[in-house]
Structure 1
């Protein structure tokens, strides 16, 4: 296990939130034996205004320096992560003209770099290891600016143009070519990134097994009860409405529940017309295990397209950890799960597999799923993640001699 290092994470997410984040899970475990600084997603002046108006939730006091920008966050195991909120930056993503964008974004880079340098000095973080978690927009301009010993790119999804427009593709490409190594969450991502950097590896998503196992099923529900199928996660553009609608319509005696952020209103508009469908708002991460345990089957209905090929869904291990069968569309090649979940190539098979898995589940299959998920714990993933970093440190040390 990696030990005694100074780690700074340039993140694309917040630390807290209502869904599990792989970056938070890994850093929480690495913090047990290392000094870890998590740099919160860089909020803009627009976010400040929206938060003051009560339309958003951002830590305005810390952003403006009215409260400490660095605080200690206790992890589930009692470790401490230094949590940093940077000053607000300027909103720039809406700018189409690259020349104008670069000029204004240079101000953001200055603000970000200045705060990170102040933090490094204050916390006495010598030779830090920089882990840029899915944020090449800020990762690239920070290269060789922080007296870092090593830069790791942690890539857990393919880039899209929703936030940063098409310019993000070239930025990520340059970043991949310049970092010391890349750690990806899927084989597909790794194959793509290896074309840009030979030092590219895979550490797949895991599950907080100790959180889920108290709620694991011990047996199937009574045969005379109504079967319940559940989905927990973001309801966005990745969601395959057509396959889901077909299954719901063809299985009127099965209840379907959807829990999570609704970012694509069409999902609710089309599916809520069926009497066997219910939508619920998102829940806190610690509430997920108990919620999953009441389901007879979990689903992952993502569209089969180029964007979704990158995904290794967190929820697949979470479903298995409580023992429920899983049916998913064939959106990604998840070879590890071929013997454990049903993968549907079209909507007809999606409906068929749901029906079959509900009918054929057993006590023995439940236990098999739980034991499989145990092997994919975040503890095991953190060890693998740390081993790759240690290997990169050793390689760089040799090259410097």
Structure 2
């Protein structure tokens, strides 16, 4: 395990939230032996206004400096992460004109850099590792600006145009060529990044096994006429509505429950008309195991497209950790799971897999799933992650000694 390093994470997310985040899981464990600063994605002045009006939630008092922007966050394992909220920036993603965008984004990056340099000085963060977690937009202009020793890109998904428009693709490509190393969460992502940076490695997503283990199934549920299928996660544009609707319609005696943030209203519009379908709002991460344990089967029905090929879904190990069988669409080449989950290429195959699994599940298969998930714990993933960072660090030190 890597020890004694200063790590600043330029993140694309917040630290808190209802769903599990790989960045948070890894940094929480790395914080046991290293000093970590987690930088939340910068909210805009628009977010400040919307929060003051009660239409969204943002830490306005910390953003405006009325409270400390930097504070300690205690992790589940008793470590401490320094949690930094940035000053609000200008809302500019909607701007199409390149020169205007460049000028205004320059202001944003100046504010961002100034705040980070203050923290680096105050916290005495010498030779920091800058770990940019899926945020090349801010990671790229920070290269060489933060007195850093090492720049690493942690990429856990493919880029899309929802936040930064199509400009993000060229920005990410340039960023990949300039960082010292890349860590991705899937083999497919790694194959893409290696084109731009040969120093690219994979650390796949894991599961908080100790959190899920107490809720693990020991036997197949006895209720034969009311089988229950669950999906827990964001309900967004990745979701294959056609595939799920076919199963819902063809299996009227099976209950389908969907729990999570609803970002694609078409899902509810299409599926809520069926009496065997229910929707529920997001729940906290520590509430997930208990809910999963009541299901007879878990589904991951993502669309099979170019974007989703990048995904290594967090929920797959969570389902398995409580012994729940998984049926998923063939959206990504997840060869690690080929003998442990059921993968469907068509909506008919998806339905048939559900029928077969519900009919044939048994104690032996439950034990096999749980044992498989145990091998994919976040503790193990954090060790892998730390070893790769350590190697990047040693390589950079050697490189500097030769110049």
| Common topology (TM > 0.5) | yes
Please state if 1:27 is matched with 2:9. Answer: no
Deviation at 1:215, TM superposition (A): 0.6
Q: Secondary structure at the match of 2:328?
A: strand
The 2-side partners of 1:276 and 1:104 are apart by 50
Q: Secondary structure at the match of 1:23?
A: helix
The 2-side partners of 1:52 and 1:326 are apart by 42
Please state if 1:132 is matched with 2:136. Answer: no
Q: Which residue of 2 aligns with 1:191?
A: 191
Please state if 1:374 is matched with 2:374. Answer: yes
1:342-381 paired onto structure 2 within 5 Å: 342-381=342-381
Q: Is the 8 A contact 2:225 2:253 kept in 1?
A: no
Deviation at 1:225, TM superposition (A): 4.4
The 2-side partners of 1:41 and 1:161 are apart by 17
Q: Secondary structure at the match of 1:38?
A: strand
Q: Secondary structure at the match of 2:130?
A: strand
1:296-375 paired onto structure 2 within 5 Å: 296-375=296-375
The 1-side partners of 2:269 and 2:223 are apart by 32
Q: Which residue of 1 aligns with 2:155?
A: 155
Long gaps (5+) in structure 2: none
Q: Which residue of 1 aligns with 2:180?
A: 180
Question: For 1:86-125, what per-residue CA distance to the aligned partner results, in whole angstroms no more than 9, with x for missing partners?
Answer: 1000001000111110000000000000000000000000
Deviation at 1:224, TM superposition (A): 3.1
1:33-48 paired onto structure 2 within 5 Å: 33-48=33-48
Please state if 1:207 is matched with 2:210. Answer: no
1:175-324 paired onto structure 2 within 5 Å: 175-324=175-324
Runs of 4+ in 1 over 2 A off after TM superposition: none
The 2-side partners of 1:257 and 1:325 are apart by 15
The 2-side partners of 1:55 and 1:213 are apart by 38
Please state if 1:4 is matched with 2:4. Answer: yes
Please state if 1:386 is matched with 2:386. Answer: yes
The 2-side partners of 1:277 and 1:223 are apart by 18
Q: Secondary structure at the match of 2:56?
A: coil
Please state if 1:63 is matched with 2:74. Answer: no
The 2-side partners of 1:355 and 1:74 are apart by 44
Question: For 1:46-91, what per-residue CA distance to the aligned partner results, in whole angstroms no more than 9, with x for missing partners?
Answer: 0000000000100000000000000000000100000000100000
Q: Secondary structure at the match of 2:163?
A: helix
The 1-side partners of 2:220 and 2:101 are apart by 57
The 2-side partners of 1:198 and 1:254 are apart by 48
Q: Which residue of 2 aligns with 1:107?
A: 107
The 2-side partners of 1:155 and 1:224 are apart by 43
Deviation at 1:23, TM superposition (A): 0.3
Tell me how many residue pairs correspond in the alignment: 401
Deviation at 1:223, TM superposition (A): 4.5
The 1-side partners of 2:55 and 2:210 are apart by 35
The 2-side partners of 1:179 and 1:129 are apart by 11
The 1-side partners of 2:213 and 2:37 are apart by 30
Q: Is the 8 A contact 2:298 2:327 kept in 1?
A: yes
Long gaps (5+) in structure 1: none
The 1-side partners of 2:153 and 2:357 are apart by 39
Question: For 1:118-159, what per-residue CA distance to the aligned partner results, in whole angstroms no more than 9, with x for missing partners?
Answer: 000000000000000000000000000001000110000000
Give the TM-score taking structure 2 as reference length.
0.99
The 1-side partners of 2:127 and 2:305 are apart by 41
The 2-side partners of 1:66 and 1:135 are apart by 27
Q: Secondary structure at the match of 1:343?
A: strand
Question: For 1:162-215, what per-residue CA distance to the aligned partner results, in whole angstroms no more than 9, with x for missing partners?
Answer: 100000000000000000000000000000000000000000000000000011
Q: Secondary structure at the match of 1:62?
A: helix
Q: Secondary structure at the match of 1:162?
A: coil
Give the TM-score taking structure 1 as reference length.
1.00
